[in-house]
Structure 1
Amino acid sequence: MGSESPSAQYIHMVQHLIEECIVFNMSIEECMEALEKHANIKPVITSTVWKELEKENKEFFEAYAKKREEGRFNSDSESSQRQRIHDIVSESTMKNSNDDDKS
């Protein structure tokens, strides 16, 4: 990733955080809210990246939406989700900061 532009690195960080939200079975709305609150990522950015991921992985997202509708996920408590997102954002921010220092 060292040769990527800062904007490409940012998009990849948002993508990684969205993937973590998906691990916690969050909806796009929950993900936008969590990333705005814990990572200062504007909802429009999260939504745009999420929608691009949906285009690239149509079958996965269709199955994901169906499982969410059927309530087949065993979700963690909300506080556990918030703490995990906070930890992931902190790790990503520190990693990006360290990568910038090496440049």
Structure 2
Amino acid sequence: VQHLIEKCLLFHMNKEECVDALSKHANIKPVITSTVWTELEKENKEFFEAYNREREEWLSETETMRRIQKMLAEIAARDSNGED
């Protein structure tokens, strides 16, 4: 389970997302994933504090990029329709 949790971390998942993913895709009971995640957090407190900070930054950057792409698509659509 620890190895699969590490994979979840590579995909910037939080605990809830990881529990759901492992339950759905690996048939691991949520209580097992949750327990292992909690123990990993206890053993690696500094890592998870940094991970959570960096994850929030990544999510913010991802949302900013999504908004920029949406604006560019709207501008391109408007330009292709001949609007000013």
TM bin, normalised by shorter chain, reads 0.5 to 0.7
> Is there any run of 5+ residues in structure 2 with no aligned partner, and where?
63-84
- Greater radius of gyration (CA): 2
Whether contact under 8 Å (1:25, 1:73) holds in the other structure is no
Count of aligned positions: 62
CA–CA separation in structure 2 for the residues paired with 1:19 and 1:72: 18
CA–CA separation in structure 2 for the residues paired with 1:47 and 1:26: 13
- The list of structure 1 runs, each at least 4 consecutive aligned residues, that deviate by more than 4 angstroms after superposition, is 72-75
2:57 aligns to what?
70
- Aligned partner letter, 1:16: H
Q: Which has the higher contact order (CA 8 A, sep 6+)?
A: 1
Q: Which structure 2 residues correspond to residues 6-21 of structure 1 after superposition, within 5 A?
A: 14-21=1-8
- Aligned partner letter, 1:60: F
**TM-score with structure 1 length normalisation?**
0.55
**TM-score with structure 2 length normalisation?**
0.67
State the identity as a percent: 71
CA RMSD of aligned residues (A): 1.9
1:30 aligns to what?
17
1:56 aligns to what?
43
